[in-house]
Chains A and B, each alone.
Chain A
Amino acid sequence: MASSKLQALWNHPAGPKTIHFWAPTFKWGISIANVADFTKPTEMISYPQQVVIACTGIIWSRYSTVITPKNWNLFSVSVAMAGTGLYQLSRKIREDCFSDEKEATAASLEG
């Protein structure tokens, strides 16, 4: 019984023998690579790349629920992409915009 269910999944037309499975599954790599880069110095973050990752994540989160059939795998990977992209952007923006203020006030206090 369990093995026939597994077999049904294995032989599914969108199952692990097909590209319909592996292409969306591999999209998780983008979010995983982004998480791995969370500890990188913010100078190495690319604004265009992270804006695109966040925007495509948001757009595809929406689209994955309006296509037929709804694709929850695509929905979850898109939410993850949007989340990691927005976090990387917030790190870089905080460093570029707000830590400069701290340095400026520190310099003016000393002077």
Chain B
Amino acid sequence: MATAFKAFLNSPVGPKTTHFWGPVSNWGFILAGMADMNKPPELISGSMTAVMCVYSGLFMRFSWVVNPRNYFLLATHASNESVQLYQLSRYVKAQGYLEKKEPEAQQ
């Protein structure tokens, strides 16, 4: 246990490096998204939420292929992707984009 923890401390993406603390700050996006989950969906910014969804998708790929591979960043962006997709679904539903259109004129 102690050696695994030491290995983590001294890892090239560990807490002695910026590769760790940068993603830590990115957890703010997830916490902010979770704080906004219960807000009325009229207050959601559709453009910002959609941008976040693409942004986290791209960075999930980035964290996988970057050297050294950054699993922490991957987990961060996977979480943000989930939160932002949920907020986007709330926004879309509130705007009425997913409703079935009423049949126009009944012939």
Contacts and interface: CB of A to CB of B under 8 A. Distances in A.
Interface of A: 19-20, 22-23, 26-27, 29-30, 32-34, 36-37, 40, 43-44, 46, 48-49, 51-52, 55-56, 59-60, 63, 66-67
Given A30-B48, A56-B26, 8 more contacts: A30-B55, A37-B45, A37-B47, A37-B48, A44-B42, A48-B31, A49-B36, A52-B32
Contacts of A40: 45
Contacts, number: 77
A33 B21 CA distance: 25
Contacts of A52: 28-29, 31-32
Interface residues of B, number: 28
A76 to B, nearest CB: 16
Contacts of A59: 21-22, 25
Contacts of A19: 58, 61-62, 65
Contacts of A56: 25-26, 28-29
